[in-house]
Amino acid sequence: MDKLLIQGGRRLRGSVAVAGSKNACLPIMAAAILADGPLTLHGVPVLEDIRALGDLLEELGLTVRRDGDTLALQVADTEPCHARYDLVRKMRASICVLGPLLGRRGRARVSMPGGCAIGPRPIDLHLRGLEAMGATIELDEGDIVATADRLHGAEIFLGGPFGSTVLGTANVMMAAALAEGTTVIESAACEPEVQDLAACLNAMGARISGAGTPRVTVEGVQSLQGCEHTAIPDRIEAGTFMCAAAITNGQVRIERVRLDHMVAVVDRLRAIGVIVEPADGGAEISSTRRLTAVDATTQPYPGFPTDLQAQLMALLCLADGNSVLTEKIYPDRFLHVAELARMGARIRKEGPTAIVTGAKRLVGAPVMASDLRASAALVLAGLAAEGCTTINRIYHLDRGYQRIEEKLLALGADIRRVAE
């Protein structure tokens, strides 16, 4: 298992390009199950999660070929419909094959995903949506077994106790694309990744309107064709590099960023005192003074994303005053708190809220990555800390950040990967 060694205290300078969005690519790859022709997807980052879904799709009868950042996906066999536990447990997002399998092949057997480090992650809303379209759903030996002759359109409410569901909306939208009649999803997730999926499905011949709003309408069609699509840039990777520039008092140009997807993030960074300037398809991020404490609450899009909560917390560890961070999506997503404390952070957790009291400095320490975004927060803390930080178990990082240490090295960080 690899680990990262970071010698903190270097100001980051230069330019970094953001990869295509992992969370946009995953459901779009699954959408290839629906198409009668080849799907060519550009902007696909080289990540463990993408590879894991590629393996699963191959088991489900697709051919998956990578050429640079382009993936070519095509159905070769429509018989398989079993997403095995072995593959699903490696990556929870595998659940996004459920809707397409059911919609195109009339049956799906998908291992029920378990919980993960960021808390319990139920899929009741996915199942409720598919049932409303006429699917029969049973649980058999830990697998969800879903069947339907042909799904029919329905009015479906997808709001849950924590708001909308991103992959639930994706699953229902994909199943509805080939259903008989019209489906209306109320309280749909508005995330840019859902919009990107709808754009790709429409390019395949689907008839989806309203994606990006809480009401999405899907008029079912008889068949979908292949298409060519470019994934949106990864707003979470972009936000992570923005925090990296800010925490090192650096000056970084981020290429290929969609600031219109990051309004809440830019709002909080500016409130902290970070300068964020749009610059010709990218953004210039700089910070030259002490940071100011702010409050932030994670919410469904367009609110502040839960996937940047840990990184913002790392930044606020060095801001003057008390910051209050409240997690409204995953109330238990705070495993990074105890690791940041090992580096001198002053954080008190009260239920789904963390109160961060800015410290004058952080100090390097050996720390343990617990999940993808928590790992990114530890990297940020390590960049700013005095001395050496060793981050163990970085396979979490490789699930979601393409060559993060090479990108940071190019910006002037003192960082290297070593085999344990």
Q: Which residues bind ligand EPU (CB under 6 A)?
A: 23, 26, 93, 121-126, 160-162, 165-168, 189, 193, 306-307, 329-330, 372-373, 400
Nearer to ligand EPU, 159 or 387 (CB): 159
Kindly state the smallest distance separating residue 207's Cβ from ligand EPU, in Å.
24
Nearer to ligand EPU, 20 or 400 (CB): 400
The Cα-based distances of 379 to 49, 244, 291, 336, 368 in angstroms read 20, 9, 19, 11, 11
Nearer to ligand EPU, 109 or 235 (CB): 235
Which residue is catalytic, options 25, 116, 227, 388?
A: 116
Kindly state the smallest distance separating residue 299's Cβ from ligand EPU, in Å.
9
From CA 157, how far away is CA 180, in angstroms rounded? 19
Nearer to ligand EPU, 193 or 405 (CB): 193
Beta bridge partners of 140: 143
C-beta of residue 126 within 8 angstroms of C-beta of residue 95:
yes
Kindly state the smallest distance separating residue 146's Cβ from ligand EPU, in Å.
14
Nearer to ligand EPU, 235 or 253 (CB): 235
Nearer to ligand EPU, 287 or 326 (CB): 326
Give the side-chain half-sphere CA count within 13 A for 31: 38
Nearer to ligand EPU, 50 or 224 (CB): 50
Kindly state the smallest distance separating residue 371's Cβ from ligand EPU, in Å.
7
Nearer to ligand EPU, 234 or 319 (CB): 234
Kindly state the smallest distance separating residue 120's Cβ from ligand EPU, in Å.
6
Beta strands 13-17 and 251-255, pairing class = parallel
Catalytic (active site) residue 116: yes
3-state secondary structure the chain: CEEEEEECCCCCEEEEECCECHHHHHHHHHHHHHECCCEEEECCCCCHHHHHHHHHHHHCCEEEEEECCEEEEEECCCCCCEECHHHHCCCHHHHHHHHHHHHHHCEEEEECCCCECCECCCCHHHHHHHHHCCCEEEEECCEEEEECCCCECCEEECCECCECCHHHHHHHHHHHHCCECEEEEECCCCCHHHHHHHHHHHHCCCEEECECECEEEEECCCCECCEEEECCECHHHHHHHHHHHHHCCCEEEEECCCHHHCHHHHHHHHHHCCEEEEECCEEEEECCCCEECCEEEECCCCCECHHHHHHHHHHHCCEECEEEEEECCCCCCCCHHHHHHCCCCEEEEECCEEEEECCCCCECCEEECCCHHHHHHHHHHHHHCECEEEEECCHHHHHHCCCHHHHHHHCCCEEEEEEC
Kindly state the smallest distance separating residue 379's Cβ from ligand EPU, in Å.
14
Kindly state the smallest distance separating residue 29's Cβ from ligand EPU, in Å.
11
Kindly state the smallest distance separating residue 114's Cβ from ligand EPU, in Å.
13
Positions marked active-site = 116
